[in-house]
Structure 1
Amino acid sequence: MLIAATNMSVTHGSTPVLRDVDFQIEKGEIVTVIGPNGSGKSTLIRALLGVLTPSSGHIARAKGLRIGYIPQKLAIDASFPMTVRRFLSLPRWISDDLALRALERTGVAGLEQRQMSDLSGGQFQRVLLARALLSEPDILILDEPTQGLDHPGIVAFYELIEEVRRDLGCAVLLVSHDLHVVMRASDRVICLNGHICCQGIPSVVQNAPEYQALFGISDSSTLAIYEHHHDHSHDENGCCHD
């Protein structure tokens, strides 16, 4: 187990945002959290990162756990000069060799002297990923990492995540709205709406009544776009319902 939430609830003021969340992430698996707007997805990520303290329950992390994180939004002032090379060295300076290897790993070598504000959406996300990978993380946490990308860019980014998982052996926790891609790019899917409605392998979640009630999807189209060969075996009936 790398990280686990047990009977975790989070309240903002007097407003409950998450309640009775139970799940854990194992080494090497890709877990995707889906849910409608306001379902508590980003709150879940912030709690797992330790930014928010649960109002009840608890979160356990493996000793010495290294986390790589890509936030949902990262605004960089276009008037402030910031090269890719400099960005990779925040907050701790890294060697040119380490920077180059990180950029090569994410497919954007050669951008070192480009201004961050001049990057395309896809390049920007790949640079963020390169920075997140500098610590050789045990788990990579990504909160809506493909916002603003077109469909080919989204598919390419998820293919890159799959390569990173395979090469580094790290786990991946992904929050996404890209149902048509992540339902095939994931080993396990968690459907969230203030609580865990259902979870399991993609084909099981897709057929769960809770999933269909939230997203109005009842056919196999969500599984047809991105071919992914799972590295782990799962119980075909592994969907948990409240």
Structure 2
Amino acid sequence: MASSLNDEPVVIVKNLSVKFGEIEVLKDINFKVYKKDFVGIIGPNGAGKSTLIRSILGMIPYEGEVILKGKVGYVPQLSSFNREFPISVYDFVRLPVRKEKNWKAIVDEVLTKVGLEGFGKRLVGTLSGGQYQRASLARAIVGKPDIVILDEPESGVDEMGKARFYDLLYELNEDLGITILMVSHDIGMVFEKCKTVMCLNKTLHCHGPTREISPEDIKKLFGEFDIWIRAHSHYEVEHAHENPDLSNLKENK
């Protein structure tokens, strides 16, 4: 059971299991996420990563117990929103604070924070993948949450946009003390930016500080993938034979 420097748990999951019909997707998941932690959830295709996130958020039925202590912001996958819908960035981001009289000032502040200053009147459909994810992050944090939960936020984003997005998350965690729980298929970025790693494949295989998760843990997690981690400027994960970028790994939905 992993603990950060702050020993106050803000996410508590007890004996969580999920079945879709007769198919057991998650079995007996137990963990705590502590205040100000930055947790990356990794695992192979079909491991149940997104299912875990949706369970925590109460979006799907589950067995067990989930306790969230504090306000939660959520950044879904890129494909979860119809970007052809004619909505401005202002209207997209302001949803959580739409009843606030000074909502425009609040939204302008958060757009500046995520690097989208001046984008308020743009239509969401005109944004690049990276810009759209930053707008989604702005919407998640505009209500000043204690916890932000993200589901594969780098999906569909180019490498430069991905790096910028992870830098933003790191800043929110370090500077504002927001607890972050994130599903990711970019294992290199997880090991560079996250404080804690959860290794999931239907059950929780390992959970601890990033520095304590070994290459052997990762090999066991991904099973048929012969992978390893090399330390350069950051951790880099590669396939042993074909050498593809494992950021292409995506969970089967």
Normalising by structure 2, we get a TM-score of: 0.82
Q: What is the rounded CA distance, in whole Å, between the counterparts of 1:106 and 1:216 in structure 2?
A: 37
Segments of structure 2 that go 5 or more residues without pairing to the other structure are: 1-8, 236-253
Bigger drift between 46-55 and 97-106 goes to 46-55
Higher deviation after alignment, 88-97 or 194-203 = 88-97
- Alpha-carbon spacing, 1:15–1:52, altered in 2? closer, same or farther (3 Å): same
How far apart, in 2, do the equivalents of 1:82 and 1:106 lie? 19
Cα-to-partner distance string for 1:175-210 (whole Å, 9 max, x where unaligned): 000011111211110010000111212232233x34
Post-superposition shift, 1:74? 2.8
CA offset at residue 61 of structure 1? 2.2
Which residue in 2 is equivalent to 1:114?
A: 122
- SS in structure 2 of the partner of residue 22 of structure 1: strand
Task: Provide TM-score, normalisation by structure 1.
Answer: 0.85
Give 2:6's aligned residue: none
Counterparts of residues 176-187 of structure 1 (less than 5 Å) = 176-187=184-195
- Aligned-pair identity (%): 38
TM-fit CA distance, 1:77: 4.7
Higher strand share: 2
Query: Do the aligned residues in 1 keep the contact of 2:94 with 2:142 (CA within 8 Å)?
Result: no
Structure 2 Cα separation of the partners of residues 91 and 139 of structure 1: 15
How far 1:91 sits from its partner (Å)? Answer: 6.0
Q: Equivalent residues in 2 for 1:50-199 (5 A)?
A: 50-55=58-63, 57-62=64-69, 65-72=70-77, 73-78=79-84, 80-90=85-95, 93=98, 94=100, 95-199=103-207
C-alpha distance in structure 2 between counterparts of 1:89 and 1:157, whole Å: 20
The SS at the match of 1:218 is strand
Please give the per-residue CA displacement for 1:105-133, whole angstroms capped at 9, x wherever unaligned.
Answer: 11111001111000111111111111100
Inter-partner Cα distance in structure 1 for 2:94 and 2:228: 46
Runs in 1 of length 4+ with deviation above 6 angstroms? none
Task: Tell me, in whole angstroms, the C-alpha distance in 2 between the residues paired with 1:137 and 1:89.
Answer: 14
SS at match of 1:147: coil
What residue number does 1:232 align with? none
CA distance in 1: counterparts of 2:29 and 2:153, whole angstroms:
23
Does 89-98 or 163-172 show the bigger shift?
89-98
- In structure 2, the CA distance between the partners of 1:224 and 1:198, relative to structure 1 (3 Å rule), is farther
Q: 1:189 to 1:218 in 2, by over 3 A?
A: same
* Root mean square deviation of aligned Cα: 1.8
CA contact (8 A) 1:206 1:218 kept: no
